[in-house]
Amino acid sequence: MPLLERPRLLELAAKQRTAHVLVQRAKMILLLAEGLGTTAVARRLGCSDRNVRKWRARWEARPQVEALHDGDRGGRPARISAETRCAVIALACSEPDQLMTPFRQTWTQGLIAEVMRRRYDVDLSRSSVQRILSAEGLRPHRVRQWLHSPDPQFREKVARVCDLYRNPTDDAVVLCIDEKPLQATERIHPTHVGRHAEIRREFEYRRRGVSQLLAAMDIRTGEVFGQVVPSRNADALLAFMKTLARRYRRKRIIVIWDNLNIHHEGKDERWTKFNRRHGNRFEFVYTPKHASWVNQIELWFSILQRRVIRHGSFDSLGRLQQAVEAFIRYWNLFEMKPFRWTFTGRFHDTRAAA
């Protein structure tokens, strides 16, 4: 054993705050150096002979303490890349190719999986195709192409949005904005707890009305600002945007939102006039079509849905509004944090996070 390594091994074996496996490996090498056999060391440390032989071989190949550490592990590779998702959506938004899929007028999940395998050499299960389509609200057996055409600038728009997330400018506030429908439903019968603590809910419920949540999230802090309004229309959105203009007074504001009709100019050039009235401080960045996952406010909407709406019972729209507004206050006080965005928006890496 190298003279310099023995003190390091003794120090590692005596540590109490170090991972148990590292302490055990250090003791293995020290006991082997004292002349104990493999079986004796294994019995002393409560491990298998195979484990002792494995780390003795590693130490003999490289007699340094660093050899006792586990190597870096990359983790399980992403199962479905963003580029593959885009290809599935593009197929679902087009008519079946009669050369590759003869006598097929509409897509099925199995047919899309088959074409992905033949055209792109990508193996997908039917359930994987179904999850991709469901996430984008696509039903290719029922929806015509003109309703769901792929965006020709998909990559450019995704890269632009992701760059704002990963490299936000210092002289502007970046806000992700969108609308979420809110439906107040009241359970008719009380909820029961089963014998094994599972929750049992009666399926039937009463509808108590529908409203809309307009929400904006500051990507730098994770702070959410929201308003519940009776309906989603241009007037309500303009009023909400005026509130944001006052909230971030004298600051340049970059808005990231989708291609909803009220997010565009319209005949009245609403956003050009709005921007002019507020000193041209606003810049509007649009996500691609069928890419709601690019807008970070959708991540927060999913948290709201899981924790407040999905299992809630509301006997009026007012109760639902109170619950949503209370959660926004709670989030901003106790849980507010920016989302960690790692996707670069560039699709050359086929193993990009799905």
Over range 18-32, report the average pLDDT: 83
**Type of residue numbered 298:** E
116 with 89, same domain: the answer is yes
Does any domain span residue 345?
no
Confidence of residue 348 (pLDDT cuts 50, 70, 90): low
Rg (CA), the chain: 29
Does any domain span residue 152?
no
90 with 55, same domain: the answer is no
CATH code: domain of residue 273: 3.30.420.10
CB 242 within 8 A of CB 225: no
164 with 135, same domain: the answer is no
pTM (two decimals): 0.57
Question: Given this model, what pLDDT does residue 219 score?
Answer: 97
Question: Given this model, what pLDDT does residue 26 score?
Answer: 84
Confidence of residue 65 (pLDDT cuts 50, 70, 90): confident
Residue 350 in this model has a pLDDT that exceeds 70: no
37 with 10, same domain: the answer is yes
Please give the backbone phi and psi of residue 80, each rounded to the nearest 5 degrees, phi first. -130, 115
Q: Which residues pair with 176 in a beta bridge?
A: 217, 256
Question: Given this model, what pLDDT does residue 148 score?
Answer: 40
Higher-confidence position of 327 and 101: 327
Contacts of 188 (CB under 8 A, 6+ apart): 202, 204, 205, 206
Count how many domains the chain has.
Answer: 3
Residue 353 in this model has a pLDDT that exceeds 50: no
Q: What is the pLDDT of residues 102-147, one digit of tens each?
A: 877 788 888 889 888 888 888 888 889 998 988 888 877 654 443 3
- Axis-axis angle for helices 49-61, 20-33 (nearest 10): 80
Residue 36 in this model has a pLDDT that exceeds 70: yes
CA dihedral in degrees (113, 114, 119, 120; nearest 10)?
40
Cβ-based neighbour number of residue 108 at 10 Å: 15
Does any domain span residue 96?
yes
Domain extent, residue 141, equals 82-147
Please give the backbone phi and psi of residue 319, each rounded to the nearest 5 degrees, phi first. -65, -40
